[in-house]
Amino acid sequence: MDSTGSSNLKKIVAEKAVNDYVKDGMVVGLGTGSTAAFAIKRVGELIAGGYKITCVSTSGQTETLAAECGIKIVPLCDVDHVDVTIDGADEVDPNLQLIKGLGGALLREKIVAAATLKEIIIVDDSKIVAKLGTRSPLPVEVIPYGHSKTAYALGKQGCVPTLRTIDGKTFTTDCGNYVYDCKFESIDNPFFLESRLNVIPGVVENGLFLNTASTVLVSHPDGTITKMEK
């Protein structure tokens, strides 16, 4: 790898996404995570420069950063649709199928994505995989009540589920739920797995974002950016 740092690569790809896809007058979804943070800051600069942009958020963390950048967040229910959302991902396969949720915002991210006309995913090239599940675990959001029983059912799907904790305390999402990080050797049929997970009592949402991404922008160690589209 050359001297181009990881943070700078995130900044480059995030700013390109905003510059290429965010236009004056749009409703924009703001993603969650370290790469999306640079996109939020760039949107704030556009607004400060006179753009009229309506923004919705995928997490409390994003709302806090948006406020620091002078961005007013409106409730998702107050907009008819979202023109474009810019967000990160934990894995991207050759068909633009995604794993998301290591940042803990998968439920709200998926709700915003479902309301979005064009979902732009920004990642570095380490997130590109031949098959989902080979690099990162699959986050699954579950309700706290009886969560160990839900975890048992998750394990029956061929994974090792681990309750997410931070500093020794159970991680709780913005919606008050827990997250199990489910480690598979690989996910051979993500659409089948998604249907299996969604019928487990106690599962709220899973981190498989299938047929969601419109475009994936990928940053590389040499500073270049490539585009993946179906």
> What are the structural domain ranges in the chain?
6-129+211-224, 138-206
The 10 Å Cβ neighbour count of residue 169 is: 7
- Does position 3 have pLDDT exceeding 60, yes or no? no
Catalytic residue among 91, 109, 119, 205: 109
Q: Which CATH superfamily is domain 138-206 in?
A: ACT domain (3.30.70.260)
Dihedral sign from CA coordinates of 102, 32, 206, 228: negative
What is the pLDDT, as a whole number, of residue 199? 97
For residue 109, indicate whether it is catalytic: yes
The reply to whether CATH 3.40.50.720 applies to domain 6-129+211-224 is no
Q: DSSP character for 127? A: G
For 90-127, write each residue's pLDDT tens digit: 999 999 999 999 999 999 999 999 999 999 999 999 99
Tell me the residue length of the chain.
230
For 70-81, write each residue's pLDDT tens digit: 999 999 999 999
Determine contact, residues 78/114, Cβ cutoff 8 Å.
Answer: no
Distance CA 192, CA 166 (A): 31
| Mean per-residue pLDDT, 157-185 | 97
Distance CA 230, CA 211 (A): 10
| Mean per-residue pLDDT, 32-59 | 97
